[in-house]
Amino acid sequence: EGMAASIDPVFNIYEMAMPWAVKRTLSPSTDKGVQVFRSTIMTEENKIQWERLLELASMNNSDKDSTETSKQPTATSTTASEKRNDAMKNAIESLMGSSDGRALRRALTDLDTIDLILKLSSRDGRPLLEKLSQQVVSKRREKKMLKAQPTGATQSASETPTFSTQGTTQ
C-alpha cells in the first residue's frame, strides 16, 4: 500500500480489494458457508431480507455522497471509481456463469418472486428499482452501440432511404 500511495495518493487498498471480497462472499465453498450466505440475504421462507439489502444500498449511496461533497472529483478519482465499479461488475458477472456462482444462482432461483415484485414496486424499493433500471438501460445502450458500429462499408447519407408523406420509399 505504501508504494502504491507514493504513485497514487488516493489509492485505497480496501477499495481495490472490494471486488475480490464481494466475489468470495457471494461464492461460499463449504456447506456451512452456503448456509450463512443464504441466512444473510434470505429468510427461511426464501424472502429477501430487505432491511439488510436496503441498508447496504443506502450505505453505498451515503458513502458516494460524503465522498463527493468532501472533495472535488479529479480525473484520477473518477477513473479509479469507474475502474472499481467495473471490477465489481466483472466480479459478479463472472460468478453468474461459473461453477463458483452456484450458491448465488441457487439463492436467486429459490427467491420468492412475488415478494420481490411487491417490494420493488413499493415506496421503499423504488430507489433499488431505479438503480436496477438504470443498469438495464445502460447495458441495452452498450449493446445497441456495439451493433451500430460498422462492420464493413457504411451507408452514406445519400444511400439512406427516405419516406414521403404518401408512405412510398424515395
pTM higher than 0.75, yes or no? Answer: no
Residue type, 27: S
Span 8-43, pLDDT tens digits: 777 777 777 888 888 888 889 899 999 998 998 899
The pLDDT value given to residue 45 = 93
- Binning pLDDT at 50, 70 and 90, where does residue 51 land? confident
Q: Is the pLDDT higher at 163 or at 108?
A: 108
The pLDDT value given to residue 40 = 87
Cβ 34 vs Cβ 105: under 8 Å: no
Report the chain's mean pLDDT, rounded to a whole number. Answer: 74
What is the C-alpha separation between 41 and 107, in angstroms, rounded? 9
- Please state which of the ranges 12-26, 59-73, 109-123 shows the lowest mean pLDDT: 59-73
Alpha carbons within 13 angstroms on the beta-carbon side of residue 90 total: 9
Mean local confidence (pLDDT), 87-111: 84
